[in-house]
Amino acid sequence: MSSTFDRVATIIAETCDIPRDTITPESHAIDDLGIDSLDFLDIAFAIDKAFGIKLPLEKWTQEVNDGKATTEQYFVLKNLSARIDELVAAKGA
Amino acid sequence: MDLAYFHLIDRITDLDIGEKTIAVEAQVPRQSTIFEGHFPGYPLMPGVLLIESMAQASGWLLIALMKFERMPFLAAVKEAKMRRFVTPGELLSVTASLVHDGSGYAVTQAKVSVDGKPRCNATITFGVAAFPNADLRGHMEAMAKRIGFPQQMIAHD
């Protein structure tokens, strides 16, 4: 079974028409891949469906706005993938 | 339907919170300046307005599901298909159902039909946010009353 990162990268490539080979675990979805907030809704929808979770986008956004977190913590893809794994694990717990 | 004010739906005929579905009626006016341009001698309801009618029906469903505490704003329209023409004077049945309830967004599938036959459909994404001001919230409450939105579903502080 492909890794969470691979699945997320494929979703981003297909959703945003970004070449798959340009997407790495170190890519920042916003700063490096240029994904805007509207595109990210599509990605969130695809991730929610693919993993059976609900990405807490509002909570993350609030934390970034409040200075309690950085965008890197949530939108660098290796970190996003780790968050997804946590949410999947929490769902199964 | 009051095209001048972008009121695309007239009346909620069914709202099922459990099933997360809504049905509304929308009477296309017989006369409108829109039909003078779209098209001269061959009046048709513009597809973008049919999409808006589906968005408004979906929006009221989301407002109900969010207990009138948040406002949906149109974010994306996908797979919008105009299957048959809609002409002045027709009575539209617009239905919508929740496909996905995300964090800060929601996705619906909506359909317009006339006499049970589909005219158009789309998958619609909304961003949802707190009402930006009391004016909009007040306007939406007044609109809710006008279209038969169940008043007991309107939360008050």
Q: Pick the residue of A38, A45, A49, A59 with the most B CBs within 10 A to test the interface with B by mutation.
A: A45
Given A41, A54, A56, which is nearest B127 (Cβ)?
A: A41
pTM recorded for the entire structure: 0.90
Please count the structural domains in chain A. Answer: 1
What residues in A contact B100, CB-CB < 8 Å? 45, 48-49
Give the residue numbers spanning the domain of A78. Answer: 2-90
Residue A34 sits in a domain whose CATH number is 1.10.1200.10
Identify the helix (H) or strand (E) that includes residue A86. Answer: helix A77-92
ipTM of the complex: 0.84
Query: What is the set of domains in chain B, with CATH numbers?
Result: 3-148 (3.10.129.10)
CA distance B75 to chain A (A): 7
**B70-86 pLDDT, tens per residue?**
999 999 999 999 999 99
- The pLDDT assigned to B96 comes to 98
**B99-108 pLDDT, tens per residue?**
999 999 999 9
Annotated catalytic residues of B are 38
